Structure 1
Amino acid sequence: MEPLQMSHEGFKAYDIRGIVPDEINEDLAYRVGRAYASLYHPKTMCIGYDVRPSSKAIMEAAARGLMDGGSEVYNIGLCGTEMMYFGTFYYHMDGGFMITASHNPSNYNGIKIVRQEGIPVSADTGLKDIESLAFSGNFSEAPKKGSLHEKEILPDYIRTVLSFVDVKKMKPFHIVVNAGNGCANIVFSELKKHLPFTFTELYMEPDGSFPHGVPNPMLEECRKPLVEKVLAEKADLGIAWDGDFDRCFFIDENGHFVEGYYMVGLLSEYFLKQHPGETIVHDPRVFWCTEKICRDLKGKAVESKGGHAFMKETMRRVHGIYGAENSAHHFFRDFSYCDSGMIPWLIVAQVMSEKGKHLGELVAEMEKEYPCSGEINLTIKDGAAVIEKVKEKYEKTATRIDLTDGIGVEFDNWRFNLRPSNTEPLIRFNMETKGDRALLEEKKKEVMDFIHSVE
C-alpha cells in the first residue's frame, strides 16, 4: 500500500485516540488492523465497539485489516472495554481491538489494543511498531484471508463478574445509577436481574451524541444529576460510569463524591481480609492510606507507575490480587489483571451489606486519617521543566523524593505527587497529609503558588 498521509497525533502512550477524521478514520483503522496482523500473526482476534457515531464503521475497517492479514475476527458487538478484555482472555484469543474514546466527546474515537490474556499494547510494548507499519503500508501478505464471526459473550461475562461476590449476602439497597448515555447499560440491564437492589436509572440509554454531556464522572458537573437524585430519593448509594464503563465512581448516602483514593482503601481491605498476605498494587499519587491498610492486614503494598499498561505489568510481575489507580481504574487478578467498572460497585454493595454500614460510614475514618486534595489538573506548557523546578525547590528538605512517575515529594506528615498526563497536555497534582486538613490546604496553596510562579 501507499504511505499514509495524515496526522500521527492519535497515537498516545496507551492507545490510539483522536478527533475523527483528522487523527483517526477508517483508513487508519484498516491499516492498524493490517499492521497488527503483520507483526503478531494472530489466528483469532476479538473486536468490539462503543456507541459513538463513527465506531461501527471504524470497527468494520479494523476488522477488514485483521482479516486481510489472515486473522479470524470475532465481533462481540456494541460493548464496554472490559468486555473486549474478557472476550480476549476468556476465549483464549490472540488479541483484541476495542473501538472507543472512553469519556471524550462524541467527535473523538480510538482503538485500544491488547494481546493474549488482555495484555495491553502500549507505546513501550509495540504500539510504535504498529504506528510505523500502518503509516508505511509495507504489510506482509497472508497465505489466506480470515473471516468475520459474530460472538455472544454476555452470559459468560455476567457469570464471571458475579463470581466476585456472594449475591445471597446482599441487602435490598436503593441505588441510583448513571451511565451518561455510554455503554454501561448493555451489561447493567442484564446484571440487575441477578441482584436484590431497587434501582433509579439516569441516562442509561446508549446514545453516542451524549445529549447530557460527555460521560466523564471525574468532572463535577457530570456528577451533579446523580448527586441530586441520590439526595432526592434518599438512596443508599449512587454509581456513575464513564463512556466505555471501565471506570466507576461513587456517591455516598449523603450525596458526597467519594475520592477514588478511599475506594482503593476499601477494596484493598476487602481482598486482604479474604486473602491475608496477598499483594496490593497502587499508583504513586496518594498511597499512605493503602500502605497502612496493607500493614494492618499483613498484606504487601507495591507502588507502580500510573497508567493501565504499567499497572497491569506490575500486577503480573508481583502476582497482585488487586490493584488500582486513584482515577477509578480497578484491576483484578481473577479478571486476567484487567480493569473493570462493574466488579468494584458489586464488591462495595457486598461490603455495605456485610458490615451494615453505608459507604460514607465505611470511608469516614480513612478520610479523617488521610485527607487528600483530589486530583487537580494543571495546563502547563512545559511540564518536565516545571517538575524539575519543583524537585530543585524541595529535594534538600524532603525526607524522600520518588521519581517512579513524575515526582513524589514526601515529608513527615504531608506529601504530594506531580506527574505528566500520558493522554492529555496536563500535569496532575495530588496531595495528602496525616490527619491534618488545615495543613493540606496550606501546603496545597504553597505548592500550587510555586508551580504558577515558574511555569
Structure 2
Amino acid sequence: MTELTCFQAYDIRGKLGVELNDEIVYRIGRAYAEFLKPKKVCVGGDVRLTSETLKLELARGLMDSGVDVIDLGLIGTEEVYYATKALGLDGGIMVTASHNPIDYNGLKMVREGSRPLSNDSGLLDIKKLAEANQFTASNVKGTLSKLDHSGPYVDHLLSYLDLGDVKPMKLVVNAGNGAACHTVDRIEAAFKSRGVPIELVKLHNTPDGTFPNGIPNPILKEQQPVTGDAVHAHNADMGIAWDGDFDRCFLWDADGRFIEGYYVVGLLAEAFLVKNPGATIIHDPRLVWNTKDICEKNGGKAVQSKTGHAFIKEMMRKEDAVYGGEMSAHHYFRDFAYCDSGMIPWLLVVDLLCKKGQSLSELVSERMSTCPSPGEINSKVDNADAAIARVYEAFKAEAIGEESVDGVSLEFPNWRFNLRKSNTEPVVRLNLETRADEKLMHEKTNEILAILRG
C-alpha cells in the first residue's frame, strides 16, 4: 500500500504525475463514495488544463460506486458549495489547485449541507480507503448529467446587494484568467438587465489554463500593482481581484492602494452588525483588535476560532454566527451554508459604500490608523519550532497575555503578535499590530524578524 502524499489538512493537492494523476483521482472518487455512501454528488472544475480530465476520472470513480453525478462544468469552488446545499445533494467535489503552481492540481470536498471534510471529519478515512484500493463492488452504475446552475447562484449573490440603493460606480475587476471570468460576465449581465448602475472594467477576463499573466494569487506583492494601477488609470471607485478558484477576494481603494484582508474583515463585520444587531462574528487569532473593537462598538459578539476553513465553519455553526472572516481573504457566510465565498464580500462592500456615501479609503483609513499592521510576513527557517521558541523566550517576561489557540500569541499593553507555522510551506508566519502606533509597529516587527531569522 503506497501512501498518498496529496492529502493535506483541509483538502487534496499535489504535483501532477508525481502525487496526483487520473488513477489516483479515480481511487479518491471510489473512496469518497465508500466512506459517505452518497446517492447524488455534484462535481466541478477550474480552468487548469488537467481539471476536465481529472473531473471525468473522479466522476467515473463515483459512478462505478453507484453514485449519480451532476457535472456543473467550469466553475469556482463556491459554486460547488452552493449547489450541494441548494440542490439538497449528498456531497460535492471541486477539482482545483487554487493558487498553486501550474503543474499542480487537487480536490476540495464537502458532504451533505456543504459541511467540510478535513482531517478531523473524514478526510483521513477517505485517504486510507484510497490507499488500500479495495472497494465494494456496486450492482448499479451511477449516471452522469450536466447542469448549468449559474442562474440561481448569481441570483443568490445579488441578494447581498440592495439593488435599489446602488449609486453609479466604476469597478476594476481582475479575474486573473481563472475561474472567476464567467461569473464576472454573468454578474455584469445581471447588473445590465436589472438597471444596476455599476460599470465593470474587466482585466484578464478570458479563462486560460496556461495562465499567461501568472497564476492568480493577489496576496503576492508583485501581483497587486496590476489591479491597483488599473484602478488609478480608469479613475475607478474600487478594485477587486480573485485567486484561481475565486474563493478569496482582494480589494483596492480608489487610490489603487491594496487593502489588507484584516481590515476587510472589520468592514464586513460592521456591514452584518448593522443589519443583524447583536449577531456573532467569528475571527481568526492572528490579528484581532480591530475586529473586536468594531464588534463592541456595533453591539456584536466577537468569537475567536483557530485558523482554517474547517475550524471557522465549525465554530460558526456552534455559535450561529452570521459571518466569519480570516485576514487571509477567506470570508464565510451563514446564508451561504457557512461556506467561504469570493463574490459575496465585494458585493457587501459596494452595498456599504452606497449606504454610507463614503469611499473605501474613508471607511478603512481610520481603522488602519487605529490598529496598524504590516500584514502577514513569512520567514523561511530551518527549524520552525526552534525559531518560534527563540522569539517566545525573548518576549514572554514582559507579556500581559498569552494564547496558544493557533501558534503562539503574546499581548502587551500597546502591541501584540502571533507566530505560527504554515500548514503547507516551510515558513513561519508573523502577524503584528499596535494600538495606533506605527513607529512601534515597525520597531517590534524588525526586532522579532531579527530573532526569528537569526
Which TM bucket (shorter chain)? over 0.9
Q: Secondary structure at the match of 2:120?
A: helix
* Corresponding residue for residue 58 of structure 1: 54
5 Å-filtered alignment, 1:19-418, equals 19-195=15-191, 196-418=197-419
Q: Secondary structure at the match of 1:124?
A: coil
CA contact (8 A) 2:379 2:453 kept: no
Residue identity opposite 2:252 in structure 1:
I
Q: Secondary structure at the match of 1:348?
A: helix
Q: Secondary structure at the match of 1:293?
A: helix
With 391-400 and 425-434 compared, the bigger mean Cα shift is at: 391-400
Identity %: 48
- CA distance in 2: counterparts of 1:363 and 1:133, whole angstroms: 48
Tell me the matched-pair count: 449
CA contact (8 A) 2:390 2:451 kept: no
- CA distance in 2: counterparts of 1:170 and 1:339, whole angstroms: 24
- CA distance in 2: counterparts of 1:103 and 1:320, whole angstroms: 28
Q: Secondary structure at the match of 1:181?
A: coil
- CA distance in 2: counterparts of 1:79 and 1:380, whole angstroms: 37
Once the two structures are TM-superposed, the CA of residue 186 in structure 1 deviates from its matched residue by: 1.5
CA contact (8 A) 1:50 1:183 kept: yes
CA contact (8 A) 1:227 1:238 kept: yes
CA contact (8 A) 2:72 2:146 kept: yes
CA contact (8 A) 1:165 1:346 kept: yes
Q: Secondary structure at the match of 1:39?
A: helix
2:14 is aligned with 1:18:
yes
CA contact (8 A) 1:81 1:98 kept: yes
Once the two structures are TM-superposed, the CA of residue 8 in structure 1 deviates from its matched residue by: 2.8
Q: TM-score, normalised by structure 1?
A: 0.97
Once the two structures are TM-superposed, the CA of residue 325 in structure 1 deviates from its matched residue by: 0.5
Residue identity opposite 1:216 in structure 2:
N
- CA distance in 2: counterparts of 1:145 and 1:65, whole angstroms: 10
- Cα shift readout 1:148-180 (whole Å, capped 9, x = no counterpart): 111121011011111112111111111111011
Task: Give me the CA root mean square deviation.
Answer: 1.1
- CA distance in 2: counterparts of 1:91 and 1:244, whole angstroms: 21
With 114-123 and 140-149 compared, the bigger mean Cα shift is at: 140-149
CA contact (8 A) 1:41 1:70 kept: no
- CA distance in 1: counterparts of 2:434 and 2:297, whole angstroms: 19
Q: Secondary structure at the match of 1:125?
A: coil
* Corresponding residue for residue 446 of structure 2: 445
Residue identity opposite 1:200 in structure 2:
V
Once the two structures are TM-superposed, the CA of residue 347 in structure 1 deviates from its matched residue by: 0.8
CA contact (8 A) 1:101 1:110 kept: yes
Once the two structures are TM-superposed, the CA of residue 224 in structure 1 deviates from its matched residue by: 1.6
Residue identity opposite 2:9 in structure 1:
A
5 Å-filtered alignment, 1:423-442, equals 423-442=424-443
2:5 counterpart (5, 9, 12): 9
Uncovered stretches (5+) of structure 2, i.e. residues with no partner: 192-196
Uncovered stretches (5+) of structure 1, i.e. residues with no partner: none
Q: Secondary structure at the match of 1:123?
A: coil
CA contact (8 A) 1:59 1:99 kept: yes
CA contact (8 A) 1:104 1:215 kept: no
Residue identity opposite 2:232 in structure 1:
L
Q: Secondary structure at the match of 2:397?
A: coil
- CA distance in 2: counterparts of 1:417 and 1:193, whole angstroms: 43
- CA distance in 2: counterparts of 1:355 and 1:340, whole angstroms: 23
CA contact (8 A) 2:387 2:453 kept: no
- CA distance in 2: counterparts of 1:174 and 1:192, whole angstroms: 12
- Cα shift readout 1:8-39 (whole Å, capped 9, x = no counterpart): 33111111111111111111100001001111
With 251-260 and 121-130 compared, the bigger mean Cα shift is at: 121-130
Residue identity opposite 2:106 in structure 1:
G
- CA distance in 2: counterparts of 1:136 and 1:155, whole angstroms: 40
Q: TM-score, normalised by structure 2?
A: 0.97
Once the two structures are TM-superposed, the CA of residue 393 in structure 1 deviates from its matched residue by: 2.7
Once the two structures are TM-superposed, the CA of residue 194 in structure 1 deviates from its matched residue by: 2.6
CA contact (8 A) 1:214 1:222 kept: no
